Amino acid sequence: MMIRTVATTPYDDQKPGTSGLRKKVPVFQQPNYAENFIQSVFDSLEGFKGKTLVIGGDGRYYNREVIQTAIRMAAANGFGRAIVGKGGILSTPAASNVIRKHGAFGGLVLSASHNPGGPNEDFGIKYNVGNGGPAPERITEAVFARSKEIDRYLISDGADIDIDEVGEGSVDGMTVEIIDPVADYAALMETLFDFAAIRAMFQGGFRMAFDAMHAVTGPYAKDILERRLGAPGGSVRNFVPLPDFGGHHPDPNLVHAKELYDLMMSAGAPDFGAASDGDGDRNLIIGKGIFVTPSDSLAMLAANAHLAPGYAGGLAGIARSMPTSAAADRVAEKLGIGLYETPTGWKFFGNLLDAGKVTICGEESAGTGSDHVREKDGLWAVLLWLNILAVRRQSVKEIAAAHWAEYGRNYYARHDYEAVDTDAANRLMAELRGKLADLPGMEVNGLTIAFADDFEYRDPVDQSVSRHQGVRIGFEGGSRVVFRLSGTGTSGATLRVYLERYESGPGRLDLATSDALAELVAAADEIAGIARHTGRTEPDVVT
Ligand code: G16
């Protein structure tokens, strides 16, 4: 085998978004496209010679090809060891765990998360650093800068590596270790949760439906929920990961997991329903007859986390992304612990977790996690819910009702306008930003604007500043609308509008969310001119 230096020319569109580089498969299939990006990552790092790189992905179309490329390029660039999930599979939280557990220098996680997969669908590459979390902006910016200048990449010339057997081999002096993708992760979960209590709950007749959406969580959920915890066979559905996710959109929301939702709302519903996404970091939680919003789930998990052995000592603090509802803030206040508001993107939680300032983090985008890894973790959230249900011996509905009675309720929804013309979306945001100073005091659809700003975050650990992270409009009485453009879409722009209204007191806790938010929806359109700019009168997805 030989190491080759291959001449290449830059692409100008390799700017990592909210979570790595995500593009359509045909874009990644252009000559040297993936190679350029991977080399740009390596060229932006220092001190990895002889160290370990973790490589894995969510099994989507094109995963196996890029895994082979990544292994050969890691060898050519001087890594000493590659740890690769068998079959090229590692869920995102499992990859984070493997990086941490094996003291790796970093990892390449191949995924486009909840986006669809297939020859004309989405693919992605993300670099994670040694703490197991997504690379911070300082690195992603360096990668983008490098990608615009790159003129060569290094690759080993060897034959394909067998990634389908657990064991060890080598490529040009680099050891390649193929590992069971589930084992380390399942062992970690056993240290955090009361498996005996959950097992007893299943033995007592508790029933659940977990939809793996033909994505990466299937093997993890089968092993943990059915084999280790004794959930009845069939509790885990759609558990065989497929390169195109069976033609579905592996996004655990009420639109794409509608079958699960309908089941959970039916008369014969099991006690608990859950789903995870393409790469296993998102979660959907539905009790019998009740959907729990991700923002509420974060608050309820934080309020009850002490019931699980891994969190019995209490929480250091809670972090949430800015567009996530303030439900968790009320829990933090009651617990007397810190609450941190960060920009959208799990990478912003890394420093807070490393510094021990927070234990639990969450985002409205169906992500919840803790300091056990440095990614959000779908199955972790499901297991924490199961642990809480096993200890409290109440239904999800009862737990939610008690929570709202104690803390009040943050009615919440996100409206997504997908594949909007990029120029129109940019114009909408620019116009909004241009009038922020004039908005306070204005009355819109009967609501008075109390403040309007463009969210800016100063990381309390490294003092780095991230600007333009979303426009916030706050109304008197505490309601809020947030506007931002998604950083994960692959066609056109996606406008996200986040709506929130707080209510407390008897008679105010059981409103239909759409009724509770109706006047905010109208106000949002009036302020931002959504229909005027985009031509859309309805969102494509409401979550
Ligand atoms: C990624 C990020 C999350 C973010 C989400 C949505 O999730 O890791 O932190 O909340 O995208 O981002 P945006 O609103 O910019 O589309 P995932 O599950 O896609 O990796």
| Alpha carbon of 19 to ligand 1 centroid (Å) | 6
**Which stretches of the chain score pLDDT less than 50?**
none
Which of 468, 488, 498, 541 has most ligand 1 atoms within 8 Å of CB, for mutation?
A: 488
Residue having the nearest C-alpha atom to atom 13 of ligand 1: 486
pTM tops 0.85, yes or no: yes
Residue having the nearest C-alpha atom to atom 19 of ligand 1: 113
pLDDT at 12: 97
Known catalytic residue at 113: yes
Task: Tell me if 3-179 shares its fold with 185-407.
Answer: yes
Contact between 275 and 160 (Cβ < 8 Å): no
Tally DSSP H helices, then E strands, for the chain.
17, 27
Does domain 3-179 fall into CATH 3.40.120.10? yes
Contact between 342 and 136 (Cβ < 8 Å): no
Residue having the nearest C-alpha atom to atom 7 of ligand 1: 19
d(CA 208, CA 271) in angstroms, rounded, equals 6
Q: Of all atoms in ligand 1, which is nearest to the CA of residue 281?
A: 18
Q: Of all atoms in ligand 1, which is nearest to the CA of residue 375?
A: 8
**Residue count of the chain:** 543
pLDDT at 314: 97
Token couple for 20 = 């790595």
Contact between 37 and 91 (Cβ < 8 Å): no
Ligand 1 surroundings by CB, under 6 angstroms: 18-19, 113-114, 281-282, 344-346, 363, 365, 367, 486-488, 496
Q: Of all atoms in ligand 1, which is nearest to the CA of residue 279?
A: 18
Q: Judging by beta carbons within 10 Å of its beta carbon (0-12, 13-18, 19+), is residue 458 exposed, middle or buried?
A: exposed
Residue having the nearest C-alpha atom to atom 3 of ligand 1: 345
| Alpha carbon of 459 to ligand 1 centroid (Å) | 19
pLDDT for 129-180, tens place per residue? Answer: 999 999 998 999 999 999 999 999 999 998 899 999 999 999 999 999 999 9
Give helix 137-147 / helix 33-43 axis angle, nearest 10°.
Answer: 130
Which of 365, 429, 457 has most ligand 1 atoms within 8 Å of CB, for mutation?
A: 365
Show me where the domains of the chain are located.
3-179, 185-407, 409-542
| Alpha carbon of 428 to ligand 1 centroid (Å) | 21
| Alpha carbon of 241 to ligand 1 centroid (Å) | 21
pLDDT for 79-91, tens place per residue? Answer: 999 999 999 999 9
d(CA 406, CA 287) in angstroms, rounded, equals 19
Instruction: Report the C-alpha dihedral over residues 48, 50, 56, 61, rounded to 10 degrees.
Output: 90
Residue having the nearest C-alpha atom to atom 14 of ligand 1: 486
d(CA 83, CA 340) in angstroms, rounded, equals 34
Contact between 74 and 153 (Cβ < 8 Å): no
Contact between 523 and 477 (Cβ < 8 Å): no
Other residues' Cβ atoms within 10 Å of the Cβ of residue 354: 15
| Alpha carbon of 90 to ligand 1 centroid (Å) | 18
pLDDT at 481: 98
Residue having the nearest C-alpha atom to atom 1 of ligand 1: 19
Residue having the nearest C-alpha atom to atom 18 of ligand 1: 113
Other residues' Cβ atoms within 10 Å of the Cβ of residue 160: 11
Q: Of all atoms in ligand 1, which is nearest to the CA of residue 18?
A: 15
Q: Of all atoms in ligand 1, which is nearest to the CA of residue 134?
A: 8
Nearest of 303, 368, 367 to residue 329 by alpha carbon? 303
Contact between 57 and 111 (Cβ < 8 Å): yes
Query: Which residues make beta-bridge pairs with 233?
Result: none
Catalytic residue among 40, 44, 113, 321: 113
Homologous superfamily assigned to 185-407? Alpha-D-Glucose-1,6-Bisphosphate, subunit A, domain 3 (3.40.120.10)
d(CA 448, CA 21) in angstroms, rounded, equals 40
* Alpha carbon 492 to chain centroid, angstroms: 21
Homologous superfamily assigned to 409-542? Alpha-D-phosphohexomutase, C-terminal domain (3.30.310.50)
Residue 282 DSSP SS3 = strand
Give helix 378-392 / helix 183-192 axis angle, nearest 10°.
Answer: 30
Q: Of all atoms in ligand 1, which is nearest to the CA of residue 494?
A: 16
